[in-house]
């Protein structure tokens, strides 16, 4: 995404200005006492990978199933490449789909599974065989044709499910939590592979996931949903660095929340501390209670400390080892011992002597502080 | 979540356009509903109507009800039905519980064999037990002196009924209790052991509470079975009148349809009550099952295992003594005067008598029911479970499928006469034909087959239909290419079940046969009435042997078939 090559930027620009691959206009899904989707407006660009991200019950799966025609919306329009598909049954829509459970036909061989949708389109046997071979090669399992799904690992099965969905060259690929049933290692491997395949084929893809790491690493754009409402649409960087709502800040990544009062002019009082906010700190009248959101890595330590604003002292009360890094709980003196989570690399851990009981001097990065009204944040 | 009902549109939500697939699915679904309405609901309604009409179809209000319910002989019959059923439940359920306990909680040897022997009563018509007990304890019975020694003058009456019904209901109770005991969570016992709990205390604090629902369910099933069974009381009941025999005599003997209808409704009461109890209990059982439990593994314990083995041997010997007596009776010339072995009785029922077609008719009924029953049930279950649309109709199928269990065969048969034999019914041509026998069997045994099919379908991935729709493959193609082959073992299981139950079934079909379609179970009853006990035993033995043969063929066939068509199962990893 950080491509600086002009050609790519042109391509990006063309993609953004081209008519959307899928346009969702005011779609809602209401039950008698429950609203699954409030009013969803969403444009999916040609060839992009869009992730629907949110906690369970946020409506992301419902939205995907509505796009697939597996559930009917109670209102709104869905337009795919200029064609209104709002009320078409699934067979009349143009998409391939991959489910969390793989849904491979257990009694058919891998080759038969991949060819399942091809056979129906009255193509020659040789042509089908060639296409199956091509697809199996594409997903990196060229020799698995005569095997049965039960003989493959979960990750391999999911690749076959992907090949089957892509076989008929649909213009839209729907992925419903495709990685959730896999173990951690396989999940990370397949993550990269799906992304590579998607970019190679340029197929417009919508993926549902509850795993923020998955969404951040795979998506062109992320749609964060909660309670049937879209909270924010943006690139992974946007979502992480500039969360639009407290919910997004909370749900994506870890965050420290400091209760504070606005003083005006981007200054806030938290405990005995007066904090300077240099980023986008919103418009809060002096005296308004607010919440300051700060990620664990958004602090300055030794070396860069001189002259930095928002300096605090604290005492380490807990260190959680995470492998390549550590999460330390630091009780901030100026905030009457309020604990804040601070992430340190292993090297920093040693260099700064971060251990339980040690004192620590640091500065909270003024450009990273996000400010939300106390009322919004307490939702 | 956040919006209230007031902000919602009142209009019915718009539906997706229907594809050809949807239309096919809905058409077949409606056909299944029509089938159940026509052959289950309508006959039941006919009974209600008939209960307030005279024989000419005039409305008489509650006359039959009042007359029937104030009739002392009928009240006596009702009381007899109830107390006999109660006694049977009190004997059968504890006996089956200990047996099930031995099979699931001890290390007794030959547990598989014990289980198979205990299930044999399922294969025989309920008449068989009654005939066997008459041979043992009847007026010329081998063990008659034993009866006299106890000071009992005759086996005919409540005693014979109770013995026969305990035999007949034993496997029904056993199957439920085995399931209940198998569901136990081994970790509870491990936890109790680590706390130093005594065996007795474990039994009363863990085992009994965990199969409480199983015990209730078994008791209600046994009770209902006995109240609505017709075969055993008919043969061994003597002058001891019970409701099921009463309704038969009223309708077939005296053409008294009004009283028959009222008694039929009376018979429905215990069934409905136990249906409701059973339904609630099953839900609780499912809740227990869904918890992630570790199966209990019994540890060897010599004394206990020995006692349990002894008990199983005793019970199996008693069960085999019953079916063995029937078999022996069928093979000797004339008890007690001429004990030479002969196949004369078999020749008589299969060739010489005018009852010769009975056995072949039963075979045909079994085959037709197996083929059409399994297909109907499976297709119905598939459409409910895996297709969408017609949301109003779906619960109806499920309800009707479950309701079939609550209707005793006798009452269903009664409903069939009143509905299909009605002069105004255009379906009247079905009456007294083979098709109506097949239909009544399918409807009567719908519930457990339906549940088997639903369980099998729930076990396969829910998204097959969604995937095939996205690949533009019609759902029925996926049904034939994937769903059916994957569920083949369950389908065959359902077919076997239909075959076996239709071979042994009597209470429903006794109202529906004609001389052309007389069935083996009916023929046994008629032979017994005519005093032809040898041929009756021969025919009963034939049914048991045929069902055993079919079960063996089924076992071999499924094994071969599975090897051939289910190669994907054996190669599965892990």
In chain A, residues 43-102 whose CB comes closer than 8 Å to chain B: 68-70, 72, 74-75, 87-93, 95-97, 99, 101-102
Report whether pLDDT(B425) > 90.
no
Residue B303 structure tokens: 């004394």
The shortest C-alpha distance from A120 to chain B (Å) reads 6
Cis-peptide, bond into residue B336, ω within 30° of zero: yes
Report whether pLDDT(A115) > 90.
yes
CB contact under 8 A, B568 and A72: no
Q: How confident is the model at residue A12 (pLDDT cuts 50, 70, 90)?
A: low
CB contact under 8 A, B466 and A30: no
Among A216-220, A309-313, B16-20, B175-179, name the most confident range. Answer: A216-220
Q: In what order do the strands lie in the sheet with A311-321?
A: A299-300, A359-364, A311-321, A325-332, A338-345
Give the predicted TM-score (pTM) of the model: 0.84
A140 reaches B (C-beta below 8 A): no
Q: What's the pLDDT score for residue B44? A: 93
Comparing A180 with A122, the larger pLDDT belongs to A180
- Domains of chain B plus CATH, in order, are 18-50+355-532 (1.10.3720.10), 55-302 (1.10.3720.10)
Query: Please, are residues A286 and A263 in contact by the beta-carbon 8 Å criterion?
Result: yes
CB contact under 8 A, A107 and B1: no
Contact residues, chain A, for B11 at CB < 8 Å: none
Q: What's the pLDDT score for residue B460? A: 87
Average pLDDT, chain B: 87
CB contact under 8 A, B14 and A74: yes
B360 reaches A (C-beta below 8 A): no
Query: Please, are residues A92 and B19 in contact by the beta-carbon 8 Å criterion?
Result: yes
Q: What Cα–Cα distance (Å) separates residue A126 from each residue in A115, A133, B295, B359?
A: 12, 11, 51, 55
Report whether pLDDT(B204) > 80.
yes
Taking each helix axis from N to C terminus, what angle separates B520-529 and B126-137, rounded to the nearest 10 degrees? 30
- The label of the residue with tokens 């040690």 reads A358
Contact residues, chain A, for B25 at CB < 8 Å: none
Rounded to an integer, the average pLDDT of A184-197 is 91
CB contact under 8 A, A120 and B471: yes
Give backbone dihedrals phi and psi of A174, rounded to 5 degrees, phi first.
Answer: -110, 130
Contact residues, chain B, for A72 at CB < 8 Å: 13-16
Q: What's the pLDDT score for residue B5? A: 43
Report whether pLDDT(B47) > 60.
yes
The shortest C-alpha distance from A261 to chain B (Å) reads 29
CB contact under 8 A, B464 and A69: no
Domain assignments of chain A as residue spans, ordered by start: 6-95+170-250, 254-377
Taking each helix axis from N to C terminus, what angle separates B257-290 and B212-228, rounded to the nearest 10 degrees? 160
User: CA A307, A311, A315 angle in degrees (round to 5)?
Assistant: 140
Q: Tell me the CATH number for domain A254-377.
A: 2.40.50.100
Alpha-carbon distance of B212 to B180, in angstroms, equals: 8
Alpha-carbon distance of B568 to A151, in angstroms, equals: 8
Which residues fall within 8 angstroms of residue B319, CB to CB, at 6 or more apart? B117, B118, B120, B121, B167, B170
SS3 A176: strand
Residue A197 structure tokens: 């395949």
Q: Out of B19, B464, B481, whose CB is closest to A91?
A: B19
The shortest C-alpha distance from A168 to chain B (Å) reads 7
Residue B66 structure tokens: 């009042």
Q: What's the pLDDT score for residue B93? A: 96
Segment B207-229, tens digit of pLDDT: 888 888 888 889 988 998 999 89
Contact residues, chain B, for A85 at CB < 8 Å: none
Contact residues, chain B, for A120 at CB < 8 Å: 471-473, 477
Q: How confident is the model at residue A9 (pLDDT cuts 50, 70, 90)?
A: low
Percent residues over pLDDT 90 in chain B: 41
Alpha-carbon distance of B96 to B215, in angstroms, equals: 10
CB contact under 8 A, B8 and A165: no
Query: Please, are residues A210 and A340 in contact by the beta-carbon 8 Å criterion?
Result: no
The shortest C-alpha distance from B468 to chain A (Å) reads 7
A120 reaches B (C-beta below 8 A): yes
**Number of Cβ pairs < 8 A linking chain A and chain B:** 132
Q: How confident is the model at residue A304 (pLDDT cuts 50, 70, 90)?
A: low
Task: Give the residue on A whose Cα is nearest the Cα of B565.
Answer: A107
Q: What's the pLDDT score for residue B128? A: 93
A6-95+170-250 under CATH 3.40.50.2300, yes or no:
no
Q: What's the pLDDT score for residue B193? A: 84
Q: Out of B16, B21, B462, whose CB is closest to A88?
A: B16
Contact residues, chain A, for B22 at CB < 8 Å: 89
Percent residues over pLDDT 70 in chain B: 94
Nearest in space to A121 (alpha carbons), one of A68, A167, A75, A57:
A167
Rounded to an integer, the average pLDDT of B460-487 is 90
DSSP state of B426: G
Q: What's the pLDDT score for residue A13? A: 58
Percent residues over pLDDT 70 in chain A: 93
Count Cα atoms within 13 angstroms, Cβ side, for A355.
3
Nearest in space to A348 (alpha carbons), one of A316, A307, A306:
A316
Q: What's the pLDDT score for residue B10? A: 46
B562 reaches A (C-beta below 8 A): no
Contact residues, chain B, for A147 at CB < 8 Å: 571
Comparing A360 with A195, the larger pLDDT belongs to A195
Q: Which helix (H) or strand (E) holds A250?
A: helix A246-251
Segment B238-290, tens digit of pLDDT: 889 999 998 888 888 888 888 889 988 888 888 888 888 877 777 776 666 55
CB contact under 8 A, A87 and B14: yes
CB contact under 8 A, B573 and A153: yes
Q: Which helix (H) or strand (E) holds B455?
A: helix B446-459
Average pLDDT, chain A: 88
CB contact under 8 A, A170 and B472: no
- Most A-contacting residue of B3, B8, B14, B16 (CB-CB within 10 A), to test interface: B16
Alpha-carbon distance of A210 to A36, in angstroms, equals: 16
Give backbone dihedrals phi and psi of B443, rounded to 5 degrees, phi first.
Answer: -65, -45
Q: In what order do the strands lie in the sheet with A22-30?
A: A35-44, A22-30, A75-80, A83-84
Which residues fall within 8 angstroms of residue B13, CB to CB, at 6 or more apart? A72, A74
Comparing A193 with B565, the larger pLDDT belongs to A193
What sign has the CA pseudo-torsion A143, A147, A148, A151? negative
Q: What Cα–Cα distance (Å) separates residue B229 from each residue in A219, B224, B246?
A: 67, 8, 12
Alpha-carbon distance of A146 to B566, in angstroms, equals: 15
Contact residues, chain A, for B568 at CB < 8 Å: 106-108, 148-150
Q: Is B337 exposed, middle or buried (0-12, 13-18, 19+ CB in 10 A)?
A: exposed
Q: Out of A72, A92, A227, whose CB is closest to B15?
A: A72
Contact residues, chain B, for A164 at CB < 8 Å: 467, 471
Contact residues, chain A, for B463 at CB < 8 Å: 99, 101, 103
CB contact under 8 A, A34 and B1: yes
Alpha-carbon distance of A103 to B561, in angstroms, equals: 24
Query: Please, are residues A89 and B474 in contact by the beta-carbon 8 Å criterion?
Result: no
Which residues fall within 8 angstroms of residue B176, CB to CB, at 6 or more apart? B214, B217, B218, B221
Task: Give the residue on B whose Cα is nearest the Cα of A74.
Answer: B13
Segment B355-403, tens digit of pLDDT: 888 999 999 999 999 999 999 999 999 998 888 878 888 888 888 888 8
The shortest C-alpha distance from A343 to chain B (Å) reads 36
Q: How confident is the model at residue A55 (pLDDT cuts 50, 70, 90)?
A: very high
Question: Looking only at Cα atoms, what is the longest distance across chain B?
Answer: 89
Nearest in space to A295 (alpha carbons), one of A261, A265, A253:
A253
Q: Out of A89, A95, A170, whose CB is closest to B16?
A: A89
Q: What's the pLDDT score for residue B96? A: 96
The shortest C-alpha distance from A55 to chain B (Å) reads 14
User: CA B408, B324, B245 angle in degrees (round to 5)?
Assistant: 25
- ipTM passes above 0.85: no
Rounded to an integer, the average pLDDT of A63-91 is 92
CA quadruple B166, B172, B178, B184: dihedral, nearest 10: -110
Q: What's the pLDDT score for residue A26? A: 92
CB contact under 8 A, A103 and B463: yes
Q: Out of A38, A89, A165, whose CB is closest to B22?
A: A89
Alpha-carbon distance of B295 to B288, in angstroms, equals: 12
Task: Give the residue on B whose Cα is nearest the Cα of A106.
Answer: B568
**Computed over its alpha carbons, how large is the radius of gyration of chain A?**
25
Question: What residues does B526 pair with on adjacent strands?
Answer: none
Residue B434 structure tokens: 């083979």
Query: Please, are residues B192 and B202 in contact by the beta-carbon 8 Å criterion?
Result: yes
Contact residues, chain B, for A33 at CB < 8 Å: 5
Rounded to an integer, the average pLDDT of B168-183 is 89
Report whether pLDDT(A10) > 90.
no
Alpha-carbon distance of A200 to A31, in angstroms, equals: 40
């Amino acid at each position: 995404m950080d491509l600086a090559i002009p050609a790519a930027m042109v391509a990006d620009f063309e993609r953004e200005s081209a008519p959307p691959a899928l346009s969702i206009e005011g779609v809602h899904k209401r039950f008698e006492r429950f609203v699954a989707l409030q009013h969803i407006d969403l444009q999916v660009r040609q060839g992009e990978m869009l992730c629907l991200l949110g906690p369970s019950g946020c409506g992301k799966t419902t939205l995907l199933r509505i796009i697939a025609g597996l559930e009917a919306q109670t209102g709104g329009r869905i337009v795919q490449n200029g064609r209104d598909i709002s009320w078409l049954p699934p067979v009349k829509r143009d998409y391939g789909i991959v489910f969390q459970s793989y849904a491979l036909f257990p009694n058919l061989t891998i080759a038969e599974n991949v060819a399942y949708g091809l056979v129906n389109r009255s193509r020659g046997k040789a042509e089908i065989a060639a296409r199956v071979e091509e697809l199996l090669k594409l997903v990196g399992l060229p020799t698995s044709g005569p095997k049965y799904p039960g003989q493959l690992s979960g990750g391999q099965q999911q690749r076959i499910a992907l090949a089957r969905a892509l076989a008929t060259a649909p213009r839209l690929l729907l992925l419903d939590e495709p990685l959730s049933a896999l173990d951690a290692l396989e999940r990370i491997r397949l993550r990269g592979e799906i992304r590579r395949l998607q970019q190679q084929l340029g197929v417009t893809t919508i993926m549902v996931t509850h795993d923020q790491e998955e969404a951040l690493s795979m998506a062109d754009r992320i749609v964060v949903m909660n309670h049937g409402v879209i909270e924010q649409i943006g690139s992974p960087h946007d979502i992480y660095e500039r969360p639009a709502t407290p919910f997004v800040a909370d749900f994506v990544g870890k965050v420290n929340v400091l209760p504070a009062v606005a003083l005006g002019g981007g200054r806030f009082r938290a405990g005995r501390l007066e904090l300077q906010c240099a980023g986008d700190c919103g418009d809060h009248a002096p005296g308004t209670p607010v919440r300051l959101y700060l990620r664990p890595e958004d602090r300055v330590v030794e070396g860069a400390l001189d002259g930095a604003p928002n300096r605090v002292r604290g005492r380490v009360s807990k260190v959680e080892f995470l492998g390549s890094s550590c999460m330390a709980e630091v009780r901030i003196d100026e905030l009457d011992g309020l604990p804040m989570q601070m992430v340190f690399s292993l090297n920093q851990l040693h260099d700064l002597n971060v251990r339980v009981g040690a004192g620590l001097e640091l500065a909270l990065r003024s450009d990273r502080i996000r400010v939300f009204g106390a009322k919004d944040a307490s939702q | 979540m956040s919006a209230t009902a007031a902000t919602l549109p009142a209009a019915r939500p718009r539906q997706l356009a229907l594809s050809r697939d949807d239309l096919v699915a809905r058409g077949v679904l409606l056909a299944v509903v029509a089938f159940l309405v026509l052959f289950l609901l309508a006959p039941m309604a006919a009974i209600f109507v008939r209960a307030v009409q005279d024989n000419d179809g005039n409305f008489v209000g509650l006359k039959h009800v009042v007359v029937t319910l104030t009739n002392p002989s009928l009240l006596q019959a009702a009381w007899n039905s109830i107390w006999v059923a109660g006694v049977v439940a009190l004997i059968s359920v504890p006996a089956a519980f200990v047996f099930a306990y031995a099979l699931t909680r001890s290390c007794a040897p030959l547990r598989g064999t014990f289980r198979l022997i205990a299930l044999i009563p399922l294969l025989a018509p309920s008449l068989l037990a009654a005939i066997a007990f008459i041979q043992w304890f009847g007026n010329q019975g081998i063990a008659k002196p034993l009866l006299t020694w106890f000071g009992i003058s005759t086996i005919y009456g409540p005693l014979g009924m109770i013995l026969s019904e305990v035999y007949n209901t034993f496997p029904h109770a056993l199957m439920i209790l085995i399931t209940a005991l198998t569901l136990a969570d081994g970790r509870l016992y491990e936890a109790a052991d680590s706390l130093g709990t005594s065996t007795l205390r474990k039994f009363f604090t863990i085992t009994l509470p965990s199969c409480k629902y199983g015990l209730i369910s078994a008791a209600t099933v046994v009770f209902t079975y006995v109240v609505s069974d017709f075969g055993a009381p008919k043969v061994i009941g003597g002058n001891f009148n019970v409701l099921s025999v009463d309704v038969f005599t009223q309708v077939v003997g005296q053409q008294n349809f009004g009283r028959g209808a009222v008694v039929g409704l009376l018979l429905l009461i215990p069934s409905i009550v136990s249906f409701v109890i059973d339904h609630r209990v099953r839900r609780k059982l499912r809740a227990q099952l869904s918890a992630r439990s570790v199966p209990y593994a019994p540890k060897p314990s010599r004394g206990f295992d020995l006692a349990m083995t002894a008990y199983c041997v005793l019970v199996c010997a008693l069960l085999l003594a019953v079916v063995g007596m029937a078999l022996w009776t069928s093979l000797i010339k004339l008890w007690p005067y001429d004990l030479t072995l002969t196949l004369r009785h078999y020749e008589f029922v299969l060739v010489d008598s005018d009852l010769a077609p009975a056995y072949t008719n039963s075979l045909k009924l079994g085959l037709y029911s197996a083929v059409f029953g399994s297909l109907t049930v499976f297709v119905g279950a598939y459409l409910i479970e895996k297709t969408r649309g017609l949301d109003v109709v779906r619960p109806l199928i499920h309800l009707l499928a479950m309701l079939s269990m609550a209707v005793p065969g006798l009452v269903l048969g009664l409903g069939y006469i009143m509905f299909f034999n009605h002069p105004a019914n255009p379906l009247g041509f079905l009456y007294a034909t083979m098709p109506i026998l097949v239909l009544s069997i399918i409807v009567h045994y719908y519930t457990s087959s339906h549940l088997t099919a639903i369980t099998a379908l729930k076990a396969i991935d829910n998204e097959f239909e969604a995937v095939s729709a996205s690949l533009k493959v019609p759902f029925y193609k996926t049904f034939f290419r994937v769903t059916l082959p994957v569920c083949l073992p369950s389908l065959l299981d359902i077919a076997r079940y239909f075959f076996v139950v239709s071979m042994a079934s009597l209470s429903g079909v006794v109202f529906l046969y004609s001389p052309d379609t007389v069935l083996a179970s009916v023929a046994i009853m008629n032979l017994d009435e005519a005093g032809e006990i040898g041929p009756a035993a021969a025919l009963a033995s034939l049914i048991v042997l045929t069902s055993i043969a079919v079960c063996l063929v089924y076992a071999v066939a499924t094994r071969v078939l599975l090897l051939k068509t289910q190669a994907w199962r054996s190669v599965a990893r892990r």
